[in-house]
A and B are shown apart, each in its own frame.
Chain A
Amino acid sequence: MKLLRSLTKALLLAMFLVFALFPLFWILITSLKGGQEIYAFPVRYWPQTPTFDNYRYLFRISDFSIYFRNSLVVSLVASVGAMIISVFSGYALSRMRSRRPKFVLLLAMYFTQIIPTYMLMSPLFISLAKIGMTDSLIGITFAYVSMMIAFSTIMAKSFFDRIPVALEEAAMTEGCTRTQTIFRIILPLTLPGLAAIFSFAFVNIWNELFLAVMLLSSNHKMTVPVALNSFISKAGVNWGVLSAGIVVALLPTMIVFAFAQKFIIMGLTEGAVKG
C-alpha cells in the first residue's frame, strides 16, 4: 500500500517535471542547431550536427557579457533594496492596530498591482526626462525598486502575520527596542518568506523589458531582456541565437532559485513559533 502511494507520488512528480521541462529542452536543442536544421519537419529532437555557433555569435557580435553584467548589478541591487524596504513596511502593516489606516494603506499597496505597466511608460519617461534620469542605470534601479515594493510588502505582511505578536511583546518587556526585536527575533523566523520575496523580485526585474527599452538608450547600458528582444528584427526571429540567449539568461535566475530553495524548504522549527 505504501509502495503504491510512493509510486503514484513519484509518477505525479515526474509528470510535473516533464511538463515544466519540455519547452526548456526545446529551447536548448534549438540553440544547438544550425540555421537550416531549425526549420526541418518532421521535427528533429536532436540536432544532427550540434554546433555552438549561436553561442559564439551571442558573445562575439552582440556584447552579451556587458548586458549580462548590467542586468546582474541592477537586479541584485534593486531586489535587495526592495526586500529591505518591504521588511519594514510589511512589518508595520502586520502589526498596525488601527483598522482604518491599515485598510487604506493595504489598499494603496494592492492599488499598484492593478496598474498596467504599459500605461506607466510614457508619463514615467517624460518625468524622468525632466530630471535627466533617462539612460541611467541608477534611475532604472530606482524605478524597479518602486515596482517591486508593493508586492514585496504584501507578501512580507502575510509572513509576519503568522508570527504571534506575543513573541515581540515578550522580547520588549525584557527590554529590547522594537527595531532590535525585529532583527533579532522576528526576521530569522521569516527567512523562507524573505528568500521567496527576494527571488521573485530578482526574477521580475531580471526579465523586465518595456521599461528597460524606454528608459535606457546607450548600448553599454542595456540589459539582458533588451538584448534578447533585439534578435527580433524586420527579418523575423533569429531562433538559433535567441534560444542561446534565453538559455544563458536563465542561468542566474535558476541559480537564485536554487539558492532560495534552501531557505524555503528548510522549514520552521515549530518550537520558536508556538513556544
Chain B
Amino acid sequence: MKRSLILLVAFTLLFSAAASAQTITLNMLEVITSPERTALLNTLIAEYEALNPNIKINLISPPYEQSDQKATLMLNTNQPLDIVEVRDYTVKQFVNNNKLTDLTPYFENWPGAQTLSPVADASARIVDGIPYLVPHGIFIKALFVRPDVLEKYGITEMPETVDELVEMCIQITDPAKNQYGFAWRGRGPTMKYSDLFASVYVKEVADAEFIYSEDEEFFLHPDYKKGMEAYIRLYKEGTPPDGVNWGFNEQVNGFVAGTTPFLIQDPDTIPLLNSMLGEDNYIVIPLPVGPHGFTVIDYGFGGWGIPSYSKYKDESWDFISWITSAEKNGYFAEHWGPLPVHTTTFEINDHFQGKHYQAYAYEMANPDVYLLKTYPLASPKWPAWSASHETDIQSVLLGTITLDQLLQKWHDYWTK
C-alpha cells in the first residue's frame, strides 16, 4: 500500500516536471497580407516549429484593406499578441502609444544587425534612432520599361533624366491609337510620384533630412513649381486621362497592355509582371534623375516588432531573428517581392542577381546619386497630408484649382 502510494507520488512529480516544459503559443499578426504571402509565412513557420517543438505560432492574417485597423485595434486593447508586423506608416503611431518594445538589447547581441544594409538599418531605427522593429522587406522604386513598345516608335535609348522621360512619354502619345506614355498613379500615395519630379528640381533637397527641405518657403520655391509643371505636363500630354483614378492595379494593367510603357514601381511588382507579361518582355532601369543630377529614393518597409505587453518577448525575438536571418529573409523576399535586408543576401542568393534586380542594386550602391530620404513620417501633419495630397493633385489636374493656388495651399498647410 505504502509502496504504491510512493510510486504514485513519484509518477505525478515526474509527469508534472515533463508537463512544465509545455508548448508556448505565440500570436503573430501580419498586415501586408496576401494569400500567397500567408502561404509563404506558413511554410516558414512550419519549418521553425519543427526545429523548436515547444513553440507554436498562431498566424493571424486579416485582409490587407483592414489589416492596419485591426492591428491598431488589437494593440490598443492589449489583445494577446507577441509578434506584430509594422510598416513605415504605422511605426510612429505604435511607438507614440507605447505599444512597441525597444529592441536595442536584442540588437546588441544579434550578429545579423551587422549585415543589415544601410537602408534596412535606417528603417529599423526610423523612430528616434531606436530599433523598434526588424525590417524584412525594403520597397524602393525603379523604372520599368517596355522596350518592345518603344521600338515601334523608333526609341532605343532609355531616359536618364526626368525631363527626358517626360519628353519621351509625350513623343509616343497618340490618343487615337490608345497609346500613351506614363502609368500614372492617381489613387494612393500620390506624393511618392509627384515629388520624384517636383522635389528633385530643388537643389537644396540633396542636403535636407527629408524629401521636403526645412526651408519654410519650400513649396513656394520656383524650382519646386518647375518640377510640378513638368509633372502636370506629363499628365496632360503623356498619360491616359483616366489615370487620375488609377491605383496599383490599373498602373500594372496599363503597363502589361502596352498602353503605358513606362512604370515606376516597387520590386514586388516583378513576380506579378513575370506571370502576367513574361520576364523577358520588360526591363528595369534606375530611376531617372533630376536636373541637378540626383533623385530621391523614398524607402518603404515592413518589419516585425514585439508588442510592449507581450509575455514571451525572448521567444518572439528568437523567431524574429531566425526568420530575418540572411538566408531565411532571402527566401522570404525572393517569393514575396521586395528587397531583402541583408547585404550578404545579395551575394548568397542567385535570385537577387537576376537582371530585374540590377537596377535596385545599382540604386542602393550609389547613394550619392540616389539619395535615401523619407518623408517626415513622424510629423503629426503627415497622416492628413497623405490623404489630402491625392485630392489636391486630382483638383489641379482637373483644373479646379491652379498650380499657384495649390502650392500656396501646401505651403500654408505645413507652416500653419
Contacts and interface: CB of A to CB of B under 8 A. Distances in A.
Given A39-B257, A129-B77, A235 B66 contact: no
Interface string A194-230: 0000000000000000100110011100000010011
Question: Could you tell me the dominant secondary structure of chain B's interface residues?
Answer: helix
A122 B249 CA distance: 30
Contacts of A233: 32-35, 37, 64
B256 interface: yes
Nearest to B76: A126
A236 interface: yes
Contacts of A122: 73
B252 interface: yes
B59 interface: yes
The A interface, classified by DSSP as helix, strand, loop or mixed, is mixed
Contact of B60 (A41, A61, A210, A219): A219
Contacts of B241: none
Contacts, number: 80
B64 A234 contact: yes
B13 interface: no
A13 B273 CA distance: 44
Contact of B79 (A134, A218, A226, A235): A134
A126 B66 contact: no
A169 to B, nearest CB: 53
Given A35-B276, A214-B73, A236-B249, A230 B63 contact: yes
Interface in A237-259: 237-238, 241
The interface size bin for chain A is 20 to 34
B256 A39 contact: yes
Contacts of B63: 213, 226, 229-230, 232
A159 interface: no
A121 B343 CA distance: 43
Contacts of A218: 58, 60
B115 interface: no
A57 to B, nearest CB: 8
Contact of B35 (A226, A230, A237): A230
A272 B323 CA distance: 72
A26 to B, nearest CB: 16
Contact of B64 (A125, A129, A217, A230): A230
A231 interface: yes
Closest 6 CB pairs of A and B: A233-B34, A236-B249, A229-B63, A230-B63, A213-B66, A129-B77
Given A36-B256, A62-B35, A234-B248, 8 more contacts: A35-B275, A39-B257, A214-B66, A217-B62, A229-B63, A230-B63, A233-B37, A234-B34
